[in-house]
Amino acid sequence: MWRKPNFPTGLIHHSKVKPLDQTHALGIDIGGTFTDIVVYDRATGRIEKGKELTTPDDPSRGVLTGLKKLLDRSIAPESLYRIVHATTLFTNALIERKGARTGLITTKGFRDVLEIGRERKYELYDIHIAMPKPLAPRDLRLEVTERIAADGTEITPLDEVEFLEQVDALVALGVEAIAIVFLHAYANPAHEDAALTAIAKKYPDLIVTASHDVAPEIREYDRTSTTVTNAYVKPLAHTYVDRLVEQTADLGIDAPYFMMLSNGGLTHIEEAKRSPVQLLESGPAAGALVAAYFGSRAGIDNVLAFDMGGTTAKLALVEDGEPHVDYHFEAAREKRFAEGSGLPLNISAIKLIEIGAGGGSIAHIDAMELLKVGPESAGSEPGPVCYGRGGKAPTVTDADLLLGFLNADYFAGGSMKIDRDAAARAMQPLAERSGLSAIDVARGIYDVVNENMASAARVHIAEQGKDPRQYTLLATGGAGPVHAYYVAKKLGVKQLFCPLAAGVASALGLLIAPARIDRVATIASRLDDMDWTRLERSFNELEADAAKVIEETGFDPATARITRLADMRYIGQGFEVVTALPEGPYDGTAAPTLLKAFEDTYRRTFSRTPPDVNAEIINIRVSLRADVPGDGVGFTTAGTDTESSQTNTTRPVRFPENDEFVETTVYDRAQLRPGETFNGPAVVEESESTLIVGPGATVRVDTDGNLIVNLPDDTQ
């Protein structure tokens, strides 16, 4: 279960943690378009929000602008006790290939591992296919004499002289960072360690990453890819983080900084600088965390977090307050949404699926005369046709407007005028080709984009061996609440949850994130042949290492929750199932318990276990989490009025269940009061989005101001 944030004052012994009179926590989320800044007052639970355009040339500039504005709003710099930060900077550097000039030194004979990859096409029929270009080009990939065997024994010692010559050569070629990857270093890191020592002696300032340090797992291509990626963004992480800290200090803020990791945990600055590859998905991770938080506060165990914006929709599963975490990730895809077209990374990251479905997704009719929606998007520029900014292609938002889901006069809180007639005109070419009316085309677009999201969710949920009917859909993002009800319906989900302040969800997530450190080591041993002393020692080493980082982050490791996991498989299989293990310590008697944990997990995922095969552990993992200090007040942006001043309006809306427009009540969300209930069909408007509720559903406003929608029972 998610624990509500409480403030374990007596347990925190780190000198940097601030006393109680400092009441403000600061969250900074730098996204692709906007930088969100949120200040949370733990005494009152109130939130102040700020939004600035992201400044890609120097992201700290946008942060500083926003920060100054907030500080001007009577928040004293010295009242801040904590700053938590997430950024897309490193992801963008990968996508735009704007990282450091990076060299690789690897085992003799294997410098092309990074370029040869898995030898598999991500598209079968595309003769012009482009595989991702390696971050270290071939002339910057050098080799050295050394060899470790698969069992970790040394075959050929490391030639340190040759190694340093290769370092010299790379330095002469102007590299800013070096990755070191030796074969089987996950089994025995001695050669990589020796290389690190040698390099530190000769080039103390050179930025270096060794594979056992960031990705100690079998499979050389994935490990090399992870290590080189880390080296590639590391110099950027160093300058950026140092600069940001320095500049905020200039504003009189001396609160400690924490960085959000892709797994939804926090860490301190030095760990972030050491292994920035772990930060790639920090923004989306924060988004999933806040979904988990709202779910837990509302007492909902299983949440399907659904965030739909202008270009993409993201889905994440949250169970018992914890988002699912995956241990592999693919970054910077050559072809958006095409699995296998990116750089594989062995990092732990909150498991998200991304679908090319957003408000700006463009509809067209394909060679099969089928109505297709996305993945091409009109984005925000030129945007949907109804924005009147030059968009010509009909989009999801245009369809939503035509169906009455959006209010032409109150779009983005009335700050933007949108043109319904232009949207209708944009449907005409599709209407003519398909023989449908413009409204039916709009209905089709709405249904198709919902099915695209539901299908992706269905496969994702099934891969985990779960049943969608046991989840509550939690909708955020500009387009999320417009589509959530009918995505829920397609999935057989019974309940929909629409939180308050969904527009700055990710930044809120930063404020409630626990400190979380994950560690991994390859063991590769059969259960019936396990050296239990060694296994326990390995777990202890990982736990000690993670605890050290937790402690450095300012938390008491003694209060941290430790989870042991193992990547297990039946002997002969090649894919492992990450299995949560019972608490340690383990000795020889633990074999049946571990086997049972694995078989339960396996059966949950695949519905059957194979006959008479033994199991083995490939990797072991530990995850340490310590909750952040907080006060459990919860977030609120609600006003102080107690009287509802709701004056409902109505407008015609075309729901999928009906064959014509029906006059539908439109609620103003700002006027809704806790405890209020009403029935669908209904439309609930707020400045950042619009919630659509289908016929037969019931809506309740909970004590925090969130909307809870129960779908009618006859829903499939």
Partner 1 sequence: MSSQSFDSATLEVLWTRLVSIVDEAAAALVRTSFSTVVRDSHDFSCVITDAEGRSLVQATDSIPSFIGTLPRTIRHFLDEYPAETLEPGDVLITNDIWMGTGHLPDISVGKPLFHNGKIVGFAGSTAHAPDIGGKIRSPEPREVFEEGFQVPIMKLIRAGEPDETFLRLLRKNVRAPDEVVGDLWAQITALDLMDARLDTFMNEYALSTLEDLAMEIQTRSERAMRAAISALPDGIYENTIRTDGLTEPLDLKVTLTIDGDEILADFDGSAAQVDKAINCAMCYTYAMTAYAVKCAAGPNLPNNDGSIRPIKAIAPEGCILNPQFPASGGSRALIGHFVPSLIFGALAKVIPEKIMAGAGSPLWCINQSGVTESGAPFAKLFFFNGGMGGTNQTDGQSCLSWPSNISTTPIEVIEQLAPLRVHRRSLRPDSGGEGEYRGGLGQEVLFESISKTPTAMAFLAERTRVGAPGIAGGEDGAKGELQINGKSVDPKQQHIVKTGDTVLLRTPGGGGYGAPIDRDPTAANRDRAEGKIGKGER
Residues 108-147 that bind partner 1 (CB under 8 A): 108-113, 115-121, 123-131, 137-139
337 interacts with partner 1 by CB under 8 A: no
**Contact between 613 and partner 1 per CB under 8 A:** yes
DSSP label of 217? -
Build a one-symbol-per-residue string for 364-403: x at contacts with partner 1 by CB under 8 A, - elsewhere. -xxxxxxxx-------------------------------
Task: Give how far the C-alpha of residue 426 lies from the chain's centroid of Cα atoms, to the nearest Å.
Answer: 35
Q: Provide the β-strand partners of residue 365.
A: 371
Interface pattern 193-222 for partner 1 (x via CB under 8 A): -------------------------xxxxx
Nearest CA to 620 among 706, 542, 503? 542
Q: Which of 207, 461 has the CB closer to partner 1?
A: 461
Q: 3-state DSSP call for residue 197?
A: helix
Please give the helix or strand (H or E) that residue 570 lies within, else none: strand 561-570
Q: Which is nearer to partner 1, 166 or 553 (CB)?
A: 166
Residues 503-562 that bind partner 1 (CB under 8 A): 524
What minimum distance in Å lies between the beta carbon of 535 and partner 1? 18
Please give the full DSSP string across 70-88, using - where no structure is assigned: HHHTT--GGGEEEEEEEES
Q: Judged by CB under 8 A, which of 44, 409, 582, 606 binds partner 1?
A: 606
Nearer to partner 1, 32 or 109 (CB): 109
Figure out which of the listed residues 436, 562, 666, 670 binds partner 1, where binding follows CB under 8 A.
Answer: 436
Q: How far is the CB of 596 from partner 1 (least distance, A)?
A: 19
CA 324 from chain center: how many Å?
10
According to DSSP, the β-strands at 154-156 and 147-148 are: antiparallel
Q: Candidates 33-41, 242-250, 298-306, 442-450 — which segment interacts with partner 1 by CB under 8 A?
A: 442-450
Question: Which segments of 403-437 does DSSP mark as H helices, in order?
Answer: 420-434
Quick one: which segment of 247-255, 436-444, 531-539, 622-630 binds partner 1 (CB under 8 A)? 436-444
Token digits for 445? 């677009």
Checking phi first, is residue 45 left (phi over 0); if not, alpha (psi -120 to 50) or beta?
left
- Look at residues 598, 587, 122 and name the one whose alpha carbon lies nearest to residue 343: 122
Which of 435/675 has CB closer to partner 1? 435
Interaction between residue 448 and partner 1 (CB under 8 A): yes
Using CB under 8 A, which residues numbered 568 to 597 contact partner 1?
A: 570-575, 577
Ranges within 23-82 binding partner 1 (CB under 8 A): none
Minimum CB separation of residue 568 from partner 1 in Å reads: 13
List of residues 6+ apart from 61 with CB closer than 8 A: 55
CB of 506 to partner 1, least distance (A): 28
521 contacts 620 by C-beta, under 8 angstroms = yes
Query: How far, in Å, CA of 684 to CA of 706, rounded?
Result: 12
Tell me the closest approach of the beta carbon of residue 613 to partner 1, in angstroms: 6
Which of 273/443 has CB closer to partner 1?
A: 443
**Least separation in angstroms between CB 612 and partner 1:** 8
Candidates 301, 330, 447, 668: give the one binding partner 1 (CB under 8 A): 447
Residue 584: φ, ψ to 5° = -85, -170
Structural Rg of the chain based on CA atoms: 26
Q: Which of 6, 44, 593, 605 binds partner 1 (CB under 8 A)?
A: 605
CA distance linking residue 107 with residue 158, whole number of Å: 9
